[in-house]
Amino acid sequence: MTTASSVLPLSFLQQLPYVVQVDLPTLSPEMQNVFFTQYVQSRKSIGFAYLLWVIFGLHYAYVNRWAIQFVFWITAGGLGVWWLIDLFRMPGIVRKYNDELALQCLGNIKMAHRL
């Protein structure tokens, strides 16, 4: 069964990638709620990423980019330059992770729905 409307708030949908915004309302309300639960439990926070950036320089590990995290550590954050640049890049880093997560959650739900 497919529906043409979303049970999720518009403000939530607008934060998701366009593909997810289009496909999610075609799922049943139950599947939309499953997506919401999976996504909200796994998404990352920009505020917490900044906290890790300031305290430990662990912001790349937070978004599961361990190879870049290792390079960041061994170069001491590009001798501080890379570390400073990440101050401005942080929202984009977290948004990219969350967008990929939303696509993955949607794909998992659609795959399970087909089974």
**Domain range summary for the chain, segments of one domain joined by +:** 42-115
Cα–Cα distance, 108 to 76 (Å, whole number): 38
State the pTM of this model.
0.86
- What is the per-residue pLDDT across 49-78, written as a single tens digit (0 to 9) for each? 999 999 989 999 999 999 999 999 999 988
**Cβ 27 vs Cβ 109: under 8 Å:** yes
**Cβ 29 vs Cβ 1: under 8 Å:** no
- pLDDT the model gives residue 1: 44
Dihedral of CA atoms 50, 52, 55, 56 in degrees, nearest 10, equals -140
What value does the mean pLDDT take over residues 78-91? 94
User: In Å, how far are 2, 72, 74, 83, 99 from 69, measured between CA atoms?
Assistant: 42, 5, 9, 11, 20
